[in-house]
Amino acid sequence: MAQLRDIDVVVFDVLGTMVDEPRGIRQAIREASESVGDIDAHVQLWQQHVETAQSAMASGERPYADTDVVDGEAAARVADRMGVSDLAVRERLARAGHRLPPWADAASGLGRLAQFYPVLGLSNASTAALLQLNAHAGLRWHQVLSSDAVKAYKPAAEVYRLAIDVAGVAPERVLMVAAHAWDLRGAQACGMRTAYVERPVGDPPTASDIFDGEFRSLDELISALTESVRRR
């Protein structure tokens, strides 16, 4: 993949790209109650609250709050709908984002790539959530960055600029990898290179999207990147 040449640093989205967020939330809901009911409706309620809250912050209608706060609000709504009143159970549900399961290829793929490139995680997850999440999922980064640092959520430009500043190289030498086309569009607008990796819960590119690469799996992306290194 000639378009992936001249990359110095690789940046990965975490939620959805490296870990299966919906599956983790679904499992946490099952653990919270023996009478779950329509679990897909509960997951949808959770995700809709998160999207609404982050949109309100992006528009200035609401002050910034990290994902621990927002997930706590979403969990409370789900717990109320299920009739869960036990405070310990509600608290564990609120921390579902700290123990999301990795995709099967995530940890091993990250380890392979880290032998050739500096790899960064760039996530909307809170700093506290990332600490626990990375340990739970077995993800080992050279450095992981939370949007907490700039009090904004992707696709706000300041989040991508944070990664570019930490990378310490020109934006066009930094590759953003994500399973969400909206995330890659945000990175692209800041001058970063972009690679889409297909995941079942991702946001696929549209006909108008032009990324530097589109891959069916993380292994396919890593093979392209490592081959590029060998040709230098």
Pair (75, 89) in one structural domain: yes
Residue 35's SS3 state is coil
Pair (35, 122) in one structural domain: no
Average pLDDT over residues 45-55: 97
Pair (110, 224) in one structural domain: yes
What's the pLDDT at 25?
97
Pair (81, 114) in one structural domain: no
- Using one digit for the tens of pLDDT, what is the confidence trace for 157-191? 999 999 999 999 999 999 999 999 999 999 999 99
Pair (94, 124) in one structural domain: no
- For residue 57, give Cα distances in angstroms to 34, 52, 60, 210, 212: 35, 9, 5, 28, 30
Pair (112, 58) in one structural domain: no
- Per-chain mean pLDDT for the chain: 95
Average pLDDT over residues 203-222: 96
Pair (116, 188) in one structural domain: yes
CATH value at residue 38: 1.10.150
CATH value at residue 184: 3.40.50.1000
Alpha-carbon torsion, ordered 208, 113, 199, 26, to 10 deg = -140
pTM: 0.95
- Using one digit for the tens of pLDDT, what is the confidence trace for 5-15? 899 999 999 99
Whole domain around residue 153: which residue ranges?
2-20+101-230
How many CB atoms lie under 10 A from the CB of residue 140? 14
- Give the C-alpha separation, 211 to 230, whole Å: 22
Pair (178, 211) in one structural domain: yes
| Res 2 pLDDT > 50 | no
What's the pLDDT at 230?
64
Pair (179, 151) in one structural domain: yes
Pair (91, 7) in one structural domain: no
- Using one digit for the tens of pLDDT, what is the confidence trace for 92-118? 999 999 999 999 999 999 999 999 999
In the chain, pLDDT over 70 holds for what percent of residues? Answer: 97
Number of domains in the chain: 2
User: Using 50, 70 and 90 to split pLDDT, how confident is the model at 37?
Assistant: confident
| CB 113, CB 225: distance < 8 Å | yes
What's the pLDDT at 216?
95
